[in-house]
C-alpha cells in the first residue's frame, strides 16, 4: 500500500492507493518503492490542480508573465506576453516555446543546460503554469473546454488532479505488454503513469487542436518512471461526442501519422492514459476530504 501525504490548512491528509496487476503497474510500483527507499525529493510540491481555491486565470497569466520576464531577461526567446486571460492557441504556442527551451527530462538541451539556475527554475514553473491554466478551463466530466472560467469553477468537483514528480528518478524503456493498461476510459481515482517526454502524446494533440506542434514533438509515451498522477476525471472514451472528433482527426492525419510511425491500432501509439493503480475507497469522498490541499508533502509505502 502507498500513501500520499498532502498539506491542508496546516494539517496532513493522506490518500492511500495500490498498484494494479498489469505488467506496467507492477514495474511502476517497484520503481516507486525504490525511490522511496532512497529518500525522495518532490521539486514541484504545488502541482495540485483544481483541488483548492489558490488559482484563478488572471493569477496564472500573471505568474506565466513573471516567468517570461525572467527567461527573456536572460535571452529574449518568447515573443509575446499574456493579458489577464489566454486561449488554447496561446497555450499551444507557449508549450512549443517550452519544448524549444527544455528538451527531454533526462537529456536537457543546450539552451537549458547553459541557463543559470534561476532561469531553469523559471522554465520548469512556466510549464507547470501552462498545465494549471489548461486544468482551470477543462470541464473534465466530459473532457470539453468551457467558454467561461466561472462555469469551469462551478464544475470543479468533476475535475482535479495531483501530479507527483520525483527528482533524479531513473526512466525506463517500455516493453511489449506495457501498453496494455492504456485506455481512453480511465476513471476518477485512477493512478496514471506520468508522461515523461518532451512534446505531447497523441490525445493531447487531438484535444488541444494543436497545429503549432512540430512533428518531432508528437511523442507517444515509450518510457516510464516512478512519477505518477492521481486524477478525478473521466476519460474521453466515456463520452460519445468525442468519438467523431477522434475518428475525424485520425482520418485527416492518417498518412502524416503513418510517416511518423504511428497508427491508430498500434498499442504503442499510447492514446489515452496508462492506468497503473487505484486509490482505496470512494473517489468522491477522497476528493471531498482533500479539497483545500496546497502542497504535496511525501509519498510512503507500508
Task: Give 1-43 as a DSSP string.
Answer: -EEEEEEETTEEEEEEEEE-SSHHHHHHHHHHHHHHHH----S
Distance of CA 284 to the CA centre of its chain: 21
Cell numbers for 216, please give them: 518531432
Q: Please state, rounded to an integer, the average pLDDT across all residues of the chain.
A: 89
Helix (H, G, I), strand (E, B) or coil at 229: strand
pLDDT for 138? 54
Q: What is the mean pLDDT of residues 106-130?
A: 89
Amino acid 123: pLDDT: 92
Nearest CA-CA partner of 111 in 64, 169, 122: 122
The grid coordinates listed for 40 are 525522495
CA 295-276-126 angle, to 5 degrees, is 40
Q: Which of 97, 134, 130, 141 is nearest to 242 (CA)?
A: 141
Mutual angle of helices 88-102 and 117-137, in 10-degree steps: 150
Q: Could you read off the pLDDT of 17-74 as tens digits, one per residue?
A: 999 999 999 999 999 999 999 999 999 999 999 899 888 889 999 999 999 999 999 9
| Residue 293 grid coordinates | 490541499
Q: Please, which pLDDT band fits residue 139 given cuts at 50, 70 and 90?
A: very low
Q: Specify the higher pLDDT residue, 274 or 57.
A: 274
Please tell me the predicted confidence (pLDDT) of residue 80: 85
Question: Is pLDDT larger for residue 261 or for residue 147?
Answer: 261
What average pLDDT does range 99-113 have in this prediction? 81
Exposed e or buried b per residue across 144-170, where buried means at least 16 C-beta atoms within 10 angstroms of its C-beta:
beeeeeeebbebbebbbbbbbbbeebe
Three-class HEC string of 179-222: HHHEECCCCCCEEEECCCCCCECHHHHHHHCCCCCCHHHECCCC
Q: What percentage of the chain reaches a pLDDT higher than 90?
A: 67
* Residue 273 binned pLDDT confidence (cut-offs 50, 70, 90): very high
pTM reported for the whole predicted model: 0.84
Q: Which residues are 224's β-sheet partners?
A: 172
Is the separation of the CB atoms in 7 and 291 below 8 Å?
no
Report, as an integer, the average pLDDT of 283-300.
96
Give yes or no for residue 271 having a pLDDT over 70: yes
Q: What angle do CA 149, 60, 10 make, to 5 degrees?
A: 100
Kindly report, residue by residue over 235-263, the tens digit of the pLDDT: 999 988 899 999 999 999 999 999 999 99
- How far is the C-alpha of 266 from the C-alpha of 245, rounded, in Å? 19
Q: Is the pLDDT of residue 132 over 70?
A: yes
Q: Across the strands, what pairs with 191?
A: 230, 277
Cβ(10)–Cβ(295) below 8 Å: no
Q: What is the pLDDT of residue 158?
A: 61
Give the mean pLDDT of 179-194: 96
Res. 269: pLDDT tops 50: yes
Average pLDDT over residues 264-287: 96
Amino acid at each position: 500500500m502507498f500513501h500520499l501525504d498532502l498539506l491542508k490548512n496546516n494539517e496532513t491528509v493522506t490518500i492511500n492507493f495500490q498498484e494494479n496487476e498489469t505488467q506496467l503497474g507492477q514495474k511502476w510500483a517497484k520503481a516507486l518503492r525504490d525511490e522511496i527507499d532512497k529518500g525522495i525529493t518532490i521539486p514541484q510540491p504545488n502541482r495540485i490542480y483544481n483541488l483548492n481555491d489558490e488559482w484563478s486565470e488572471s493569477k496564472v497569466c500573471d505568474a506565466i508573465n513573471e516567468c517570461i520576464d525572467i527567461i527573456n531577461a536572460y535571452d529574449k526567446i518568447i515573443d509575446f506576453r499574456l493579458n489577464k486571460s489566454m486561449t488554447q492557441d496561446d497555450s499551444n504556442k507557449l508549450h512549443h516555446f517550452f519544448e524549444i527551451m527544455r528538451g527531454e527530462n533526462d537529456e536537457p538541451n543546450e539552451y537549458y543546460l547553459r541557463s543559470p539556475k534561476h532561469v531553469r527554475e523559471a522554465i520548469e514553473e512556466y510549464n507547470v503554469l501552462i498545465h494549471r491554466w489548461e486544468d482551470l478551463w477543462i470541464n473534465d466530466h466530459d473532457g470539453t473546454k468551457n467558454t467561461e472560467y466561472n462555469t469551469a469553477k462551478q464544475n470543479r468537483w468533476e475535475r482535479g488532479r495531483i501530479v507527483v514528480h520525483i527528482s533524479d528518478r531513473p526512466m525506463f524503456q517500455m516493453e511489449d505488454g506495457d501498453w496494455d493498461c492504456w485506455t481512453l476510459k480511465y476513471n476518477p481515482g485512477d493512478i496514471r503513469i506520468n508522461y515523461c517526454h518532451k512534446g505531447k502524446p497523441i490525445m493531447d494533440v487531438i484535444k488541444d487542436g494543436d497545429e503549432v506542434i512540430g512533428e518531432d514533438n508528437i511523442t507517444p509515451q515509450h518510457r516510464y518512471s516512478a512519477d505518477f498522477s492521481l486524477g478525478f476525471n473521466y476519460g474521453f472514451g466515456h463520452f460519445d461526442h468525442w468519438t467523431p472528433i477522434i475518428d475525424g482527426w485520425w482520418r485527416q492525419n492518417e498518412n502524416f501519422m503513418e510517416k511518423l510511425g504511428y497508427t491508430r491500432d498500434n498499442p504503442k501509439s499510447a492514446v489515452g492514459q496508462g492506468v497503473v493503480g487505484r486509490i482505496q475507497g470512494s473517489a468522491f469522498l477522497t476528493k471531498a476530504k482533500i479539497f483545500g490541499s496546497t502542497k504535496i508533502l511525501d509519498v510512503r509505502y507500508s
